[in-house]
Chains A and B, each alone.
Chain A
Amino acid sequence: MTELLASLAEPLHYAFFVRALAGIALVSVLCAIVGSWVVLRGLAYIGDAMSHAVLPGIVGAFLLKGNLLLGAMLAAVLTALGIGAVGRRSGLKQDSTVSIVFVGMFALGLVMLSKAPTYTSDLANFLIGNPLAVTPADLWSTLIVTVLVGGVLAFIQKELLLVSFDPTEARSVGLPVTRLNNLLLILVGLVVVLTVQLVGTTLSVSLLITAAAGARLRSRSLRGMMLGAALIGTGCGLLGLYLSYFLDTAAGPTIVLVNTLGFLLMLPFRRKEG
């Protein structure tokens, strides 16, 4: 027993490991709150698109030695506006416009990155992320975004609940349904930017969706779903980080894999009556 505790405590001597733990825990809580809405509203594809579309922002900031988070946010906002503009001009359905914009942005990011001298290693970092590279500054900005997004969602919770469950009723009591939906998209963009830092663009939607979807299987209320998602996400995140340390595997993908396995293990325990 003491041996186990000792080996668990071992990586905690490294500041970068502790920062990674803190980062994963914070982002898991944030993803639980936002991801629950994403799962309930069927917006997972937007989260996925968003995570790819922020690449040019991150790469641009990286090449210019600027703040990666700010660059990503700029790209997220441009993407959201771009999706809206293309949709209005083309009259196409949202899934098509989202795909067109997000692949275009992703390709732009890759082209920009190919001008970087250390192309291959950088590419790997952006695609699969690295929680062990989280800096104290990253942790602070993550904390600020968590408080901000959590505060906004708490402020509009009952309105968002009514819009999600019964949009007709929401319109009939005069709620600004479209604006609420747009606000939710912006929040999703913010959160995705944080997850990209940890697990990269290709895997980031996992943190947003998987834990919330797992909690959805058993939850009777929104609060229960968010709480469950936070527990699942944090638990799988910490477990994945430790596993990657002891197995010497890439941390981001290991965390995502544990999340996925956790979800599969929960599948048989779905509440039956719906």
Chain B
Amino acid sequence: MQTVTPPSSPITASVPGLPLVEVRGLTLRYGAQVALECGDLTLLAGQFSAVIGPNGAGKSTLLRALVGLSVPDAGQIIFAPELGKPVNAVAYVPQQQTLDWAFPVTVWDTAMMGRTARLGWGRWPGRSDRAKVADALEQAGVYELRDRHIGALSGGQRQRVLLARMLARDARILLLDEPLTGVDAATQLRIMALLRSQADAGRAVVMVTHDLEAAAAACDHLVLVNRRIIAQGAPEQVYTPHNVEATFSSSHLGHTHAHA
């Protein structure tokens, strides 16, 4: 007689260490140029990862592929079946400066946009959506600003509004492009703490950043990228002078040559 294993349910996906996304042999090109040629990458529930590399290393490309905005030229991205529709499983926070902050929406409206996909066509937000949005704004520390126009916010506050919108998505995989850029040190700490708590709640959190120092201190998993994955693993294994040089030096040389 066999031992009975419990049936897989959405709850099993919150077990820390469970793979939520498997990336295999992913390659993306812009024209003839390879933007990213990455080996294998696994995103685990409960893991807070940082993707680090110089400008043009393919960090954003990797996120865009994960969220379905860029179609890979080769390779596969496989989502754990218990996640359901990838559209609802993945939440993506773009770089702040890509948005039009003069747009006539309040902080509340912006966070409510995170409910759009879950609500579906023709349905207006109900009580549970409002509760979700209020909770997301609380967690991001911008609930008091909910009636403000987004143009009236500081850089740090804007970033936290985008985080609130991400939380309102209610997704299992959180992808953030440069969430620490353009915000003050206190807000950086606050954002890191929020992302850590999201990982601890069983989500997979992936943040693109320039800040190797901060990432090494706060994240479980570092992915060093420069057109390909240079190294990945726990910070104490990956954050070595050799790896850092391999990640950043070639592009630095290229940069100097271009200006010489």
User: Using a CB–CB distance below 8 Å, which chain A residues touch chain B?
Assistant: 40, 155-156, 158-159, 161-162, 164-166, 168-169, 171-175, 216, 219-222, 224-225, 271, 273-274
Q: In the complex, what residues of B have CB within 8 A of residue A165's CB?
A: 99-100, 103, 105, 110, 113
Range class of the B interface residue count: 20 to 34
Contact pattern, B 97-127, Cβ under 8 Å of A = 1, otherwise 0: 0111111111001101100110101101100
Chain A residues, CB < 8 A from B67: 172
Cβ contacts A to B, 14 pairs, < 8 Å: A155-B122, A158-B113, A158-B116, A161-B109, A161-B116, A165-B99, A166-B113, A168-B92, A172-B67, A172-B87, A221-B105, A274-B102, A274-B149, A274-B151
**Which residue of B is nearest A216, CB measured?**
B104
A residues near B151, Cβ cutoff 8 Å: 273-274
Residues in B neighbouring A162, C-beta threshold 8 A: 113, 116
Q: Measured between alpha carbons, how far is A164 from B109 in the docked complex, in Å?
A: 13
Q: Is the CB of A221 within 8 A of B106?
A: yes
Residue on A nearest B86 in the bound complex, by CB: A174
* Chain B positions 63 through 105: 1 when the CB is less than 8 Å from some CB of chain A, otherwise 0: 0000111000000000000000001001010100011111111
B152 at the interface (CB under 8 A from A): yes
Are A274 and B113 neighbours in the complex by a CB distance under 8 Å? no
Q: Determine whether the beta carbon of A220 is less than 8 Å from that of B106.
A: yes
Residue among B109, B124, B125 making CB contact with A222, cutoff 8 Å: B109
Closest-CB distance, B144 to chain A (whole angstroms): 16
- A219: chain B residues at CB < 8 Å are 104
| B94 adjacent to A169 (CB under 8 Å) | yes
Contact B149 A172 (CB under 8 A): no
Taking CB atoms and an 8 Å cut-off, the chain B residues in 34-64 that contact chain A are: none
